[in-house]
Amino acid sequence: MLEYLSLIFVGPSQLLPLAVGLALWVGLAGLGVLVAGRQGPTEVNVIFGWAVVSSLFTLVGVVVRAPFFALFILATIGAVVGIILSFRRRQPLFIPGMWRILVLALPIFLIAGAMEPSQWDEFSHWLPAPKYLLAIDGFPNAAKPNIGPHMLSAYPYGWPILFYMSGRFTGGLLLNIGGTLNLLLLLTFTPFVLRTVMQIAGRPLAQSISWTTATVAALAATALNPTFVQKIVLTAYSGVSTSVITGLSVLVGYHFLESLARRNKVPPAAAAWHLSLVLMLLINLRQTNLAVFLILVLVLVVAAIRDQEVPIKKFTANLPLAVIPALVIYVAWRLYVGAELAGVPGGEAKFMPFDTWNINAIPQILSQMLVVVGKKIGFFGVMIIASVAAIIGLVRMRGGIDRLVLLCAAVFVGYNAVLLLTYVAYFSLHDALTVVSFWRYNIQIGALGVICILLGLVFLWKRYLGFDGEFIWARRASLVLVLALPVLFAPKLRFDLEPPKPHIIAVAKDLKKEGLVTGSLYVMDPGGSGESAVITRFHLDRYEAPWLSFLHRPTPASIREFINSVKVDEFLLVHSDSDGLGEALGQVIDPRRSYIFKRTVNGWKSLKSWPKPDNHPM
């Protein structure tokens, strides 16, 4: 038990990400109240505020090129005004009782706050991006394309902007804020899903979140979430943010249709504006979200045409308000990319020439996609059932369940059709045939699975058990699960402690602290995957550092060639040994240590070495 607790409780500093995340959430909720008005769903205030910040930074950042710090101050002022306005109106920033969800989620928040960034893509893109924003106080441009790796510098910055704002609170980039923000997003999303589903089921929830509702919301965000993958959720990756905003776009789109049919009290224009805010954020998170945006708009049109309760004239009149602002954001960013970042190598993903597409491989690609579907049936099974139900619902179109399932299923099917296109038109034949990252890409729409699961569970409960019983046993069992699961699975959640990552990070931080590397750096790790290079390059701000790992299939000849490329007064970091390495350096290399060498006119000089822990792979 002490071993488990030591993975969760590491010191007061682990509370900093949660404190900063909550402060950011309060500020964004204040902005949300300011722009969404009295009729906005309270659960979505934070997302409305984030949409404003994302749009403000994008439009002003690409048109006026104003320093981001000025925009941060402007957003802070707006947040304060919104908070004051919420008190004057007696309009809550958050759903009353939201604190109960945060209390139940405290164990996993503590784990997130204790973790170090450790994943490859964190160091190659998702952390360098906000690090650049903080250092340059603006977007990458032709004069200063990046200070990080040449990887996707033309990507939208809706997600890194939250890291930028968190960094302004703390005076520098808070490296492990990503997991906390992802958890806050999930726990913001699931109460809105639950409230919507219970309304459809004819049993609206009380205004304040009870302990039972809080427990279900926390479970839906974690244990019942089929795409809760710890190496995505507890990192700086944007998969969770994309997933949550996709799910919220569907939910807010559903409520837009409800307002047009006069099934709620929100005027259609206000509901269209709320949808517009979420779509502006959706389209500013990832390149591929343009496809999700277009699919959702199309299915809203189809649903409006099929739903006899929706006046088509009102829908047509209000749709531009929901759609055009998002398109403005998208076009503004694309024009900026074309003007400033088109010449940056590796700036963004692009389709191959048509004559090189993997068209003949489509049957094999589809076959491999089905293999992944079978392995991840927890998510895909739910969505396949939802897709069948959507076809039935499209025909009969009766009640909110048909409308909501149709929206979820259409986005799921359309998104995977777009993924098929990318395997044909973008990926190499090898990557296409192995449908590389197919499951990871579907995690980006995983919130649709949460909606469908809660919808199914609520209606099954209603049909077979009813809502009138006390069900004390279920409440107690759920509460125990919420509190116990993070503790029981702490070793699995703390993947940042998997060797050799802690040692590599410790060495990189020590090199930075002692300032041993004063010239160009090369990283030699013939027994490693290359993660030592991306981690070291990030911590030392030396993204140009060449590296060699087992991915390069090293031989004594290639090792000697790499070492000979290091010039006098340049540095070589060695993390693992291989045949020919010691001879090429003229040094004795102990495989149980890491070394930093400097090349001098007289040969190699060892500056420092670090012992590897006992569990470190050799």
Could you report the per-residue pLDDT of 18-51, keeping only the tens digit for each?
A: 999 999 999 999 999 999 988 999 999 999 999 9
503-513 tens-digit pLDDT: 999 999 999 99
pLDDT of residue 501: 94
The neighbour count for residue 485, using CB atoms within 10 Å, is 17
pLDDT value at 470 more than 70: no
pLDDT of residue 537: 95
pLDDT value at 98 more than 70: yes
The DSSP 8-state label assigned to residue 341 in this structure reads: I
Handedness of CA 336, 340, 346, 351 (dihedral sign): positive
**For a pLDDT cut of 70, what percent of the chain falls above it?**
98
170-191 tens-digit pLDDT: 999 999 999 999 999 999 999 9
| Alpha carbon 617 to chain centroid, angstroms | 30
Residue 434, Cβ density class (10 Å: 0-12 exposed, 13-18 middle, ≥19 buried):
middle
Which long-range CB contacts under 8 A does 383-389 form with residues at least 24 apart? 383/408, 383/409, 383/412, 383/448, 383/449, 383/452, 385/452, 385/456, 386/412, 386/448, 386/452, 387/412, 387/413
Please state, in angstroms and rounded to a whole number, the distance separating the CA atoms of residues 169 and 609.
36
pLDDT value at 493 more than 90: yes
Confidence band (pLDDT; 50, 70, 90) for 1?
Answer: low
**Averaged pLDDT for residues 414-433:** 96
238-261 tens-digit pLDDT: 999 999 999 999 999 999 999 999
Mean pLDDT, rounded, of the chain? 93
**Averaged pLDDT for residues 384-401:** 90
Top-confidence residue, 3 or 277: 277
| Alpha carbon 300 to chain centroid, angstroms | 25
**Averaged pLDDT for residues 161-169:** 97
**Averaged pLDDT for residues 388-413:** 92
What global pTM score does this model have? 0.95
Please state, in angstroms and rounded to a whole number, the distance separating the CA atoms of residues 384 and 420.
17
Handedness of CA 16, 17, 19, 20 (dihedral sign): positive
pLDDT value at 520 more than 80: yes
539-593 tens-digit pLDDT: 999 988 999 999 999 999 999 999 999 999 999 999 999 999 999 999 999 999 9
- Whether omega before 500 lies within 30 degrees of 0, making that bond cis, reads yes
**Averaged pLDDT for residues 71-90:** 96
pLDDT value at 349 more than 80: no
Please state, in angstroms and rounded to a whole number, the distance separating the CA atoms of residues 291 and 411.
9
Strands 571-574 and 521-525, sheet pairing:
parallel
Residue whose pair of structure tokens reads 């040094």 in the numeric block: 587
**Averaged pLDDT for residues 396-422:** 94
pLDDT of residue 78: 97
pLDDT of residue 178: 98
Lowest mean pLDDT among 55-59, 144-148, 302-306, 379-383: 144-148
**For a pLDDT cut of 90, what percent of the chain falls above it?**
83
pLDDT of residue 66: 87
pLDDT of residue 148: 65
Please state, in angstroms and rounded to a whole number, the distance separating the CA atoms of residues 42 and 188.
10
pLDDT value at 233 more than 90: yes
pLDDT value at 307 more than 80: yes
pLDDT value at 150 more than 80: no
**Averaged pLDDT for residues 108-112:** 96
pLDDT of residue 303: 94
pLDDT value at 2 more than 70: no
Confidence band (pLDDT; 50, 70, 90) for 618?
Answer: low
Please state, in angstroms and rounded to a whole number, the distance separating the CA atoms of residues 197 and 98.
18
The 571-574 sheet, strands edge to edge: 547-549, 521-525, 571-574, 593-600, 603-611
pLDDT of residue 259: 95
pLDDT value at 84 more than 90: yes
pLDDT of residue 149: 63
